[in-house]
Structure 1
Amino acid sequence: MAADISRPPSPTPHEHSTARSDSPNLFAMGYFTMPFERFVRDENSEYSNAFTLLDTMETYWDSRIDLLQRNISKRTDKLKLRAELALNDIFKGKPPSPEALSENFDREVQKLRLRVTSRMTSLATAWQSAKVVRTREKISFFVGVMSLLISALLFGLGPQWIHVTYTVASLILLPYRYYSYKKRAWHYFLFDLCYYVNVLNFIFLWIFPGSPILFVACYCLSHGSLASAVITWRNSLVFHDADKVTSLFIHLYAPFTFTVIRHFYPNAAERFPALAELPHLHPWRALFLSSLLYLVWQTLYWKFVYVDRRTKIESGERTTSLYFMLSQKRGLIGRALGMVKPERRAAYFMLGQFVYAVLTEVPCVFVLYDSAFWSGAFLLVIFGVSVWNGGGFYIEVFGRKFERELEELRKELAEANNNLRYASTRSSPTVTPSETSSEPVSPILFHKTLANEEGLEKVEAMGPASTVGPTVEIEVVESKKDR
C-alpha cells in the first residue's frame, strides 16, 4: 500500500457516484468533500488507456471549449425555431410576395452572420488565453529538458554538485507545489510521507551530515516509499506539465541524490561523516531505524490531520489521501478499504502504509546499499516507468484529443452547410417555369429586358418605377404587334 501521495490522480465521475452509493458513511466524515469535487471538475481521469499508468487527463481548455460549443448549439437551435415560426406565420396566410421573401432571406443571412461573428470573437478570446498557456508550457518543457541534461552532465562531470542541484530545485518546485495545492484546497496532501522524507533529507544534507541514524533513515525511505511511488502513483515524465514534473522530481531525485552520495560521490566521508561509520549496512538495524522515524511522521500526521483538523474534513473543506484511496474502487487497495468498517478505515489505512514502507525498503537494505550496479539499474527501472507513462500521455492523450478536435470541426462544417442550405431553401424566393415565360413583375428587371429590344430606346427616358408600369405594358403590346 502506498505511503505517500504527491499529486493524486482524479477519480472519474462514474467512480464518484459508485463510491457515494456504496459507502454512505466513510470514516464517519464527509466522504466526498468540496475539494474532492474540484478533482472531478478540474481534471479528468488519468486511467483512460492501457499504455499509461496515470496522467492521461484532459486539459482545462477542453472543458471550456465543450461548454462553449454546447452554448452555441443551444443558441443555434433557438434561432432555427424562431426562423421556422416566422416562416410559418408568413406562409400561413396569403402567398408571400417577392419583397417579403427577400426581406426574410436577408434577415436569416444577417442572423447567420451574427452567429459567425460571435463565434469568431469567442474563439479569438480563447486563442489569446491559449497562447498564454502554451507559453507557460513551453517554459516548463524547456526547464524540464534542461534540468534532465544538467543532472546527467553533473553526474558525469561533478557528482559532488548533485545534492546542491537537488536543494536548489526543491527551493523552486516545493513552494510552487504549495501554492498550486493551496489554491485548490489540496494542501493536506502536503502532509504525506514524501514531503516529510524530503525535509529529512535536507536536514541531513545541510544540518546533520554526520548523523548515521538520520542517513540510514533518509537512504532507506528515499529508496523505499519515495522511489516506489513513481510506479504506485503512476508518475509520468511530461516536460510541458510543471505539476507532473514536480511530482516526478519529489519521488525520483531523492533516491538519485543518495545513490550518488553512497556510490559516486568523491571522498563522500569528508563531506558526509556519517558514511565513515557505515561502510556496510546492517539490514535489520536499518529497517528498525527507518521504521522508527516513519512512526514519528505517522503519529504527527494522525494528530494534525485526523484529530486537530477533523472538523474541517467532516465539513467538506479539506480532503486527505485516505478519501482518495477509498475512491479508487478498481484497485486492490480501494477494494480492501471498502471491506473495512468506516470507523476502522483510518487505522487500517495507516497500518497498511507502514507495512508498505517496510516492504519497499527491503531491496535497498539487502542489495542496493552495497552495489553501485544494482543501484543504477534500480534507478533506470524507476525512471523508465516514468518515461513510458510520459510517452503514453503524449501519444494517447494528444492523439485522441486531436481526433476529437477533427471530429468536432467536421461536425461544425456539416452543421454550417446545413444551416446555409436550410436558409436558402426556406427563405429565398422560388421561380416557377410559368413565371419565366411571362413578363417579369419587377419594372427594373423589365427595363433591363427592354434595353435589348430593338426600337424601344425611349423606355430608358421613362420616369420613376411607380409610373413605368402602364407605359411599359403598352410598349410591349405594340412591339409584339410590329413583329
Structure 2
Amino acid sequence: MSEEARPAPPGAPAPRPLLRRQSTLRDRLENGVEELHRRLEPVLEAAGSAMDELSVLLDPGAIDEALSKHKPPELAPSPSAADAATTAERKQEDASLARVGGSLIDPRKIMLQDKLAFVFGVANVCLTAFWLGRWPQTYYMFWLIKDIVLFSLRFLIYKQQGMHYMMLEYCYAANLVAFVYLFLSPQSAVLRRFSFAIMSGPLMWSIVAMRNSLVFHSGDKITTLMMHASPALSAWCMRWYPRPEWTAGMSPEQLAEWNSASWPQMALLPAALNLAWVTVYYLVVFVLVNKRIQKRGYQNMFTAMVTRPSARKSTLAKLVLSAPPPVQPLFYLCIHTFASWLSLLPTKLWFDSFWAHTAIIILVMLVAAWNGASFYFRVFAKQLMKEQSERQAAAGEKKAA
C-alpha cells in the first residue's frame, strides 16, 4: 500500500496542512470541542493573517530585520557556517521569521504597506496642525482618539513580540493622569498645574532624550512620538486656550489661582507621580513577575535600555552596568527619577510665558523632525552604497568573463 493510501492509526489526530498558519487562539482551543474548533477555524485563520499584515505595517523594523537575514536559495550558507549559528537565540529568531517570512519578503506588500503608513503619517501631521489652529480647546479629544487606537495596536503587536511589559512605563501612566485631569476635573487648579508640569516636563523632554523621530512610514516610531508630543501640545492648548466652561462661574480670586503657579508647585508636587510610579513599577516588574519575565525572555525598558547588546555601548547603560548586578534595576530607576525631576524645573517658565512656551514646543518638534530626516537619509545612504556595491560586483564579473 502506498504512503498516500495508508490509513492513519486509530486515534491519531487528523493531518494538518503544512503551510497553514496556526494562531495563538487556535492553539488554545485545540483540545476543546471538535465541532467548535471546526467552526472557528476559518475565522481564526483570517484573524491571524490580518494580524501578521498589521504587525508589518506598524513595525517596519521587522521588515529590515527579515530582509537583512533572508538569503536566496543559491546563496545559502555553507554547512560549517550553519553549524556555528545553531544557538538557542538564532533558532528562535529563525522560527519567528519562518512564521511570517512570506509576507515580510514580498517587495510589493512592503511597498504598499510603507506607502499606506506614510500617507497616514502625513495625514496625522496635517490634521494635528489643522486641529491646533482651528479647535485648540478640544485638541485633547483628538489626542485621546489617537491614544486609544495606537496604544491598542501597540499592545497587540508588543504582546506577540514579548514586549508588552514595556507599556508599564512612566509615559503611559503620565498620559493617563493627564486625561484624568482634562476629562474629570479641569476646574482644579492643583491638578491643572500638576498635569501641565508632567506634560511639559518629562513627557515633552522625552522626545529629545529618547531621540523620538518623525518617521512617517513607521507606526512604532509615530506612536512613540505621539505619546510624548500630543501631551506637550495639549499642555499648550489647555494653558493658553482653555475651554470657556472650565472657568465658568469662577470668582476673580479663583481664576487668578487657576492661572498661577509657583516653583514648588511645578517642580515638587508633580515629582510625587514619578516616585509613586517607580515604587509600583519596581515591585511589579522586578519582584512580582521578574521570574516570569526572565523565563519567557520578555523585554521591559530596563532590558531595552541597559542589558540589550546593542544598548550596552550607551553612556546610560555603561553607568548602570557599573553598579553591582542586584542593584542595577534600582540604580536605573533612580537615574530615571532624577532626570524626570530635572525636566520639571523649567515648567514654570512655560506656564508663565506664552512665547517661551510656544518657542520650546517648536524647538522640540523640530528636533523630532531632524531625527526623522537623519533616519531617512541614513537609509537612503545605505541603499545607495548597496547599489554601488552591486554595480561594482557586476562590472567585475563582466571583466572576468
* TM-score over 0.5 for the pair: yes
Other-structure match for 1:425: none
Q: Distance in 2 between matches of 1:58 and 1:405?
A: 21
Distance change >3 Å, CA 375–CA 384, structure 1 → 2: same
Q: How far did residue 358 of structure 1 move? A: 0.9
Residue 399 of structure 2 is aligned to residue 397 of structure 1: no
Return the alpha-carbon distance in structure 2 between the equivalents of residues 384 and 352 of structure 1: 26
Matches within 5 A, 1:162-241: 162-241=139-218
Whether contact under 8 Å (1:217, 1:293) holds in the other structure is no
Q: Take 1:74 and 1:413, find their aligned partners in 2: how far apart are those partners? A: 23
CA deviations 1:55-110 (Å, max 9, x no partner) are: xx995445544545464134999xxxxxxxxxxxxxxxxxxxxxxxxxxxxxxxxx
Check conservation: 1:209, 1:271, Cα contact below 8 A. no
2:194–2:270 Cα contact (<8 Å) kept? yes
2:107 to 127, 130, 135: 130
Inter-partner Cα distance in structure 1 for 2:295 and 2:180: 36
Task: Give 3-state SS (helix, strand or coil) of 1:237's partner.
Answer: coil
Map Cα deviations across residues 236-270 of structure 1 (whole Å, 9 max, x no partner).
10111111111110011101101111013353733
Deviation, 1:157, is 2.1
Matched letter for residue 190 of structure 1: M
The question of whether the paired residues in 2 share the 8 Å contact of 1:269 and 1:276 is answered with no
Does the C-alpha gap of structure 1 residues 403 and 268 become closer, same or farther in structure 2, counting only changes over 3 Å? farther
After superposition, where does 1:16-35 map in structure 2 within 5 Å?
Answer: none
2: CA distance between counterparts of 1:171 and 1:164?
11
Could you say which residue in structure 2 is the equivalent of 1:27?
A: none
Corresponding residue for 2:75?
73
The question of whether the paired residues in 1 share the 8 Å contact of 2:214 and 2:221 is answered with yes
8 Å CA contact 2:213–2:221 kept in 1: the answer is yes
Aligned position for 2:347: 364
Question: In angstroms, what is the RMSD of aligned CA positions?
Answer: 3.1
**Cα–Cα, structure 1 residues 184 and 68, in superposed 2: closer, same or farther, change >3 Å?**
closer
Task: Give the residue type in structure 1 aligned to 2:225.
Answer: L
Match of residue 269, structure 1, among 243, 246, 249? 246
Task: Identify which of 261, 268, 271 aligns with 1:281.
Answer: 261
SS at match of 2:269: helix
SS at 2:268's partner residue? helix
**Is 1:324 the equivalent of 2:304?**
yes
Report the secondary structure of 2:345's partner residue: helix
Alignment-derived partner of residue 286 in structure 2: 306
Write the letter of the residue equivalent to 2:181: F
Q: Supply the AA of the counterpart residue of 1:318.
A: Y
Seen in structure 2, the aligned counterparts of structure 1 residues 192 and 416 have a Cα distance that, compared at 3 Å, is farther
Aligned partner of 2:74: which letter? I
Q: Which residue of structure 2 lines up, in the alignment, with residue 145 of structure 1?
A: 122
Amino acid in structure 1 at the alignment position of 2:347 = C
Which residue is equivalent to 2:270?
290
User: Residue 194 of structure 2 contacts residue 265 of structure 2 at CA under 8 Å; is this kept in 1?
Assistant: no
Structure showing greater Rg: 1
> Which residue identity lines up with residue 138 of structure 1 in the other structure?
K
Q: Evaluate the alpha carbon distance shift between residue 323 and residue 74 of structure 1 in structure 2; reply closer, same or farther with a 3 A threshold.
A: closer
Deviation at 1:375, TM superposition (A): 0.6
Q: Which amino acid aligns with 2:166?
A: F
Deviation of residue 408 (structure 1)?
Answer: 3.1
* Per-residue deviation, residues 316-350 of structure 1 (Å, max 9, x unmatched): 53222222332333333222112211112122222
Compute the TM-score of the two structures, normalised by the length of structure 1.
0.60
Contact 1:227–1:255 (CA under 8 A) maintained in structure 2: yes
Question: CA contact under 8 A between 2:118 and 2:217: conserved in structure 1?
Answer: yes
Q: How has the CA–CA distance of structure 1 residues 179 and 402 changed in structure 2, closer, same or farther, with 3 Å as cutoff?
A: farther
Any unmatched runs of 5+ in structure 1? 1-41, 44-56, 78-124, 422-483
1:178-201 CA-to-partner distances (Å, cap 9, x unmatched) read 112111111111000110011111
In 2 relative to 1, CA 176–368 (structure 1 residues): closer, same or farther, beyond 3 Å? same
- Label 1:172 to 1:401 Cα distance change in 2 as closer, same or farther (>3 A): same
Within 1, Cα distance between the matches of 2:267 and 2:78? 67
Matches for 1:347-426 after TM superposition, within 5 Å: 347-365=330-348, 367-408=349-390, 410-411=392-393, 415=397, 421=401
Note the alpha carbon deviations across 1:405-443, whole angstroms, 9 max, x for none. Answer: 44236536755886xx5xxxxxxxxxxxxxxxxxxxxxx
